[in-house]
Amino acid sequence: MQFFIVAKSESNKKLLLQNFQISFDFLMINQYSVYFHWIIKRTFSFPISPMSTFCVEFHPSKEEIFQKSDDECREHAELFRAVGGVYFDEDFLPNAKSLGKIITDLGKADFENLNDPWYPPSRFFKNGWSVYDNAWPFHVTQGRLGDCWLVAAIMCLARRKDLLEHILPKKEYTRDCGIVQVRLFVDGKWEVIKIDYHIPQDDGRMRFLRNSTNQLWAALIEKAYAKVLGTYGHLVGGHSNNAFRVFTGSHGRRIPFTKDADPDKMWEDFIRYYSSNSLMAAATPNFEKDSEGEKLYESVGIDNNHAYPMLDFQEIDGGRHRLIQLGCSNSERWKGKWSDLPAYPNDVTHTFTDAERAACEKKTFWIEIADFLQYFHCLYVCEYRLKWAEQCFTQHIHRQPDDETQILKMVVRERQEFVIEVGRRQDDHGKHTLFLNIHKSTRDNKCGELLLTFNEYSDRISTEQFYLDPGTYFVVFYNYPVYDQLEIVILDWVVRSPKPFDTTVSLDFVAFPFSTLIDSVQQVILKYGNVEKREEDTIVIYNWKNADCCLILVENLMKWTHVRVNVNNMSNSESLDYWTLKDKERWWPVPPLSKCIVAYFQNRKVGLPAGHVKIEVGFPVF
């Protein structure tokens, strides 16, 4: 057995042992090798088996990260003021390499003037400039880059002063020294992206995202995002929910829908999201060039394969007409019903300049919900909580599927509200059916009663807001299906609450058998699924499904007898993904007095049924 502690003080060693509740006796008995590190960030790890390791890294608070960056920028600014000159970012130089492979919003490669110099703000705005001043969505115009998904998300920030100031704080050293801080949530933690204020240009105009006024905020945010991804070219193609998450640190969801969606239900959801201060955008489907679909969209002034910010909602004529206000990132504008309705009332526009009045009518429009459902196919939504306390940490897992696992333990000292988010870093398997289950702890610290469950087909999942009374709870994260090979996973966790964590809640990870995860999902099926078949004193077949997938569970009630289960997919749908427990083997035993998830179905297309299956149950013949 090995035991290592790296710490700056003896008190930190004691704190580690107390915090993670691990004793030397426990380590000796179980023959685990344990490694603890306490240097700047709190980290702990230990191998579970010769092939398995586990590590959790707790990140500093965003306040600490922001303050540290601001202090460094102030020091750098003093040096520039003493010697003259302005800041140039050596990590994102003004050259063709930083531009990358440029694809325009028309899908064409752009090779023109890639080595032209980048200009400071004073070259674009001869009469003075500001970072932002009373920003509006119609100030923003997409440039020569196919990043409408990002532009739509940026347009959503314009009237969210608190969020805009959070992302791009106004600092005196930005104007006189060219030092810009952009705060983004990257890889599960907050980072301050430090850039300079030089912007790519072509023939004296901003090459990419532009502002119709003398404000620079939108172009600076786009530049910082490009730096995170490596080049401007890497901004081509994406989804607005990802940008929402990077801007807010909160989970952004992509919600597909069809033309047959219930308009009453959709409107109810829209108003609920809007009332909760959520960021919202919508996207149109993609069509082949010169196809009938593309021609139809062109005829009504809607771009295909394009993202639009959702800015406002209103009901007219006693609710008979329900209208959605969308923003335009380019020159295309809706030509159908309600397109001539003024973007804003007179008590708002009377403060605008003539140019702003013209821009707001050109860059925004109203569309009725029936037409919206006809031409759009996807909603992006993000509910953010800037003022809530949060704890961010990253879980690194390298294990065999059947090895022991680690489950988050929460000790709550007073009743409070929570939101928990978990994101799985991208891997070769892409999206999964994710479960995030909240269990009450038993008296002997086992995973007990299922209290809440949340599920989503994605690479990340978030709970809704929920309350916990004082007590101990376990948070089980599980992705389905589980693959047979060695699993290497990085999970980014965020736990949020309106109350501070240091006095009201503690977080820890506890080792459990891998079967605990299976049992947690089985509890979901038993509690929320339907009984498809019941044979007295022999078997029960359960079916659980949501909008994306279906799970089938078989429970063997017999005391001594095994049963064999065969599940066959009877659907011919090419969009249906189908797994059973054993690849290519359709029969397997369910032991006496046990439960087993025997099949999983997932549809890659929204609005399609989960498929039809044939289940055969065989009994041994003696």
Distance between CA atoms of residues 516 and 518, nearest Å: 5
Question: What are the structural domain ranges in the chain?
Answer: 86-113+120-382, 388-528, 530-618
Three-state DSSP class for residue 253: strand
Q: What is the pLDDT of residue 12?
A: 39
Q: Where are the beta strands (DSSP E) in 344-429?
A: 364-368, 378-382, 389-399, 405-412, 416-424
CATH code: domain 530-618 is 2.60.40
Distance between CA atoms of residues 420 and 460, nearest Å: 11
Distance between CA atoms of residues 287 and 31, nearest Å: 60
Three-state DSSP class for residue 590: strand
Q: What is the pLDDT of residue 74?
A: 95
What class does CATH assign to 388-528? mainly beta
Distance between CA atoms of residues 269 and 284, nearest Å: 19
Question: What is the DSSP code (8-state) at residue 622?
Answer: -
Residue type, 131: V
The closest alpha carbon to 322, from 384, 377, 274, 278, belongs to 274
Three-state DSSP class for residue 353: coil
Q: Which residues pair with 407 in a beta bridge?
A: 510
Distance between CA atoms of residues 99 and 114, nearest Å: 7
CA of residue 349 relative to chain centroid, distance: 35
Q: Which residues pair with 5 in a beta bridge?
A: 36
Q: Say whether the peptide bond before residue 481 is cis (omega within 30 degrees of 0).
A: yes
The closest alpha carbon to 245, from 181, 291, 184, 194, belongs to 184
The closest alpha carbon to 475, from 429, 444, 434, belongs to 434
Q: What is the mean pLDDT of each run of 10 residues along the chain (622 residues)?
A: 32 41 31 30 46 81 95 94 92 93 76 86 91 92 92 95 95 94 95 96 90 92 97 94 96 92 95 94 93 93 95 92 94 90 90 89 94 96 92 87 85 96 75 92 94 91 95 93 65 94 92 91 94 83 84 89 77 54 61 87 57 64 48
Q: What angle do CA 105, 109, 115 make, to 5 degrees?
A: 110
Q: How is domain 86-113+120-382 classified at the architecture level of CATH?
A: Alpha-Beta Complex (3.90)
Catalytic member of 306, 398, 432, 439: 306
Query: Cβ neighbours of residue 76 under 8 Å, at least 6 residues apart?
Result: 87, 173, 177, 179
Q: What angle do CA 74, 220, 421 make, to 5 degrees?
A: 90
550 is catalytic: no
Distance between CA atoms of residues 66 and 189, nearest Å: 12
Q: What is the pLDDT of residue 569?
A: 65
The closest alpha carbon to 153, from 67, 63, 248, belongs to 248
Catalytic member of 55, 59, 73, 148: 148
Q: What is the pLDDT of residue 536?
A: 78
Distance between CA atoms of residues 50 and 518, nearest Å: 23
Q: Are 518 and 505 in contact (CB under 8 A)?
A: no
Backbone angles phi, psi at 422, to 5 degrees: -135, 130
Helices and strands (H, E) in the chain, number of each type: 17, 36
Distance between CA atoms of residues 154 and 209, nearest Å: 10
The encoded tokens of residue 131 equal 């970072």
Helices (H), 469-509: 501-504
562 is catalytic: no
